[in-house]
Structure 1
Amino acid sequence: MEGFQGSLLDCGGPAGPGPLGASVRRTPLAGGAWVDVRPGWLGGADALFERLLRAVPWRAERRRMYDRVIDVPRLLAFYREGEPLPDPVLDEARRALDAHYAAELGEPFRTAGLCLYRDGRDSVAWHGDTEGRGATEDTMVAIVSLGTPRPLLLRPRGGGPVVRHDVGHGDLLVMGGSCQRTWEHAVPKTARSVGPRLSVQFRPRGVR
């Protein structure tokens, strides 16, 4: 895994989630989808990154693709509803997201999936979170990015113009409305030498 270089901006301020409210920038997308972005939302994000690297029971997975089984190009962990999260800052983050999105989402975020992109060879292909309710209902997926910024790309399902957000070091990105059904997102591979990135995906019940 490439060496991690912390952000010069992530020092001196309070640890944990900052305010949301008017600091969140919403971009409407086609088909009733939207994306919210709040740069630098988590104070102390680099220290949290280091703690999660050590505390999370990361696992490698293999999945069938067509006629062969391949390694998933990232490490994974998943915390089901009711399972304790690996760091109290993540509990604070989830409570803040619940409070901010309560009226719009109508329910709390219940689960947390974590992905570790060790270097530029790790990635996730184009997809929507359509296991369960996300295939048929508007919902939200809130992603907190830690570590080295990497591009998170979005495009309309079936192809079209790509929207790019470079996220890391405590940035928040929330995909809402019809985003999981009508758009796809990806973290592409890169030949550049990049450090590790860790993402935390908060989801409501029944969305994967």
Structure 2
Amino acid sequence: MFVQKGLLIVLSGPSGVGKGTVCSVLRKEQSDIVYSVSATTRSPRIGEVEGINYFFKTREAFQQMIQNNELLEWAEYVGNYYGTPRRFVEETIQQGKDIILEIEVQGALKVKQTYPEGIFIFLIPPSLAELKNRIIHRGTENDENLIRRMNAAKEELKMLKYYDYAVVNDEISKAVKRIQAIIEAERLRKERILPYYEQWLKEEL
């Protein structure tokens, strides 16, 4: 029996679009999908838990991870570092389990260089005005940071062309269903199944 490699699913989108919420609901509905926890140097927000939402690191500790090649990707975004621990992702895929990475655009493009066969999904807001409202209602940014995040969002939206799919997050439940449909379709692509099928044909009955 051949174990098909797991899918590497990368979800990106501008700050405030709802990546974390979408991933949280997706995890509850599909427990077979493994969630990759990122490392970051930013401070925890209210309700965030170490090892579940992020691995919260000092800048010194994060820089040491970079030097030791312990990160699949990393990027600096709005003054803080974000990165994906390498070993856990690679082991999960080899075990035949699907894993989802919720990461920034810069990091996603680095992952694509290493894993071009990954599934890259861009979560987009219904409009920039709605995105701005979501960030304001989150209550975590001052006026200066709000402007920085909105300018960053405009630049990130230009990167949509490098992704495989675009999912509008107008309603959480609808966005999750769209992502589930993408994952199911990707699991059934002949390119992923054909190598194992060719091995079956070589077996003696």
TM-score normalized with structure 1 length: 0.25
Give the helix-richer structure, 1 or 2. 2
State the structure with more CA Rg.
2
Give the strand-richer structure, 1 or 2. 1
